[in-house]
Amino acid sequence: MLPPLDQVCDAFPDHLAGAKPPCAPSPPAEIAAYEKALGVPLPREYRRFCERMGRGTGPLSFSGAHVGLDTRLAEVSAAWEAKRSRRKRRGETGPPKAILFGLAIGTCQDCGPAFLDLTGDLAPRSVRAAVRPADPGSPLVLQIDWWRGDRTEGTLLAESLAALVFAQAFERFVLAPLGPARAGSITLPTGERAPGFPAALDAALAPLGFERHPLSRFPLASHHVHATGRAAIAMRPDPNCEPPTLRLVAAASPRRLADEALERIAPLARMSVSAQGR
């Protein structure tokens, strides 16, 4: 079962509660206006996101494949109004299959805004079975080509909003303080080995003193912390690569802990890791 958004945010109270700039909630009227424009209620998790940081995400920043994302509800709602007019002209009626969550910051011909997939049908086919949400209140976060509408397959950014927030908070507040990181990608195994990968990963890292973070309960993403608190490893869906590929970041002081961890992970999947950098 995926952890709820509130539990994820509350896991970093010292970093989020007193952050400058602080996380800024959306007022109820702003949330109600977006629901009216959509014609459907906001998913439970997105409502909590708006109630906690709909006007500003504080120290957290979110991104897609090549661009950042503006998740401020007022901006998103205004953009959806324009999109709704285009849907009508194309003859698209009825409730949307995906609702707008974040606007692309900058220009990239390959990047679109971020959407919340209300059905689970718009996820990449290669990972659809693994990430299809059982809870409609906690939808997938996808990047979808704006001009092709909201009924086409997208790029997976996170298994849920909680996963998106947790990945950013973990990398910023746990990994970053450990110093320069080794970064790269890891292609998950397919077929019979795929379902057993999380357990195999845990077993491989345990002898080195790494444990999975208690909130890291996602189908694809994984987050491990060393018992000393001096090393950490994060893996999350990589929107720049064909799934099932994860972006991997490992940092440690001393550096050898990260090197030893990567040696343990390598036999489990195809991995490409740079010497240094994020």
Q: Which residue type is seen at 66?
A: H
pTM: 0.90
Quote the CA–CA distance of 76 and 102 in Å, as a whole number. Answer: 6
Is residue 73 within 8 Å of 26, Cβ to Cβ?
yes
Segment among 37-41, 48-52, 204-208, 226-230 with least mean pLDDT: 37-41
For residue 92, pLDDT beyond 70: no
For the ranges 53-57, 60-64, 135-139, the maximum mean pLDDT occurs at: 53-57
For residue 273, pLDDT beyond 50: yes
Domain ranges of the chain: 5-160, 179-273
Quote the CA–CA distance of 87 and 66 in Å, as a whole number. Answer: 26
Segment among 108-122, 160-174, 187-201 with least mean pLDDT: 187-201
Quote the CA–CA distance of 201 and 206 in Å, as a whole number. Answer: 9
Is residue 102 within 8 Å of 62, Cβ to Cβ?
yes
The residue among 270 and 85 whose pLDDT is bigger is 270
Residue 2 is predicted with a pLDDT of 82
Residue 141 is predicted with a pLDDT of 93
Residue 87 is predicted with a pLDDT of 65
CATH number of 179-273: 3.30.310.50
For residue 192, pLDDT beyond 60: no
Confidence of residue 275 (pLDDT cuts 50, 70, 90): low
Confidence of residue 234 (pLDDT cuts 50, 70, 90): very high
Query: Which residues 6+ apart lie within 8 Å of 115 measured at CB?
Result: 98, 99, 100, 101, 122, 141, 142, 143, 144, 150, 154
Confidence of residue 278 (pLDDT cuts 50, 70, 90): very low
Residue 51 is predicted with a pLDDT of 97
The stretch 71-83 carries a mean pLDDT of 91
The stretch 127-151 carries a mean pLDDT of 76
Nearest CA-CA partner of 57 in 102, 88, 95:
102
The stretch 50-68 carries a mean pLDDT of 91
Is residue 188 within 8 Å of 218, Cβ to Cβ?
no
For residue 137, pLDDT beyond 60: yes
Q: SS3 string of the chain? A: CCCCHHHHHHCCHHHHCCCCCCEECCCHHHHHHHHHHHCCCCCHHHHHHHHHHCCEECCCCEECCCCEEECCHHHHHHHHHHHHHHHHHCCCCCCCCEEEEEEEECCCCCCCCEEEECCCCCCCCCCHHHHCCCCCCCCEEEECCHHHCCCCCCEEEECCHHHHHHHHHHHHHHHHHHCCCEEEEEECCCHHHHHHHHHHHHHHHHHHCEEECCCCCCCCCEEEEECCCCEEEEEEECCCCCCCEEEEEEEECCCHHHHHHHHHHHHHCEEEECCCCC
Residue 147 is predicted with a pLDDT of 52
For residue 52, pLDDT beyond 90: yes
The CATH label, of 3.30.70, 3.30.870, 3.30.460, 3.40.1580, for the domain at 5-160 is: 3.40.1580
For residue 31, pLDDT beyond 60: yes
Quote the CA–CA distance of 245 and 137 in Å, as a whole number. Answer: 26
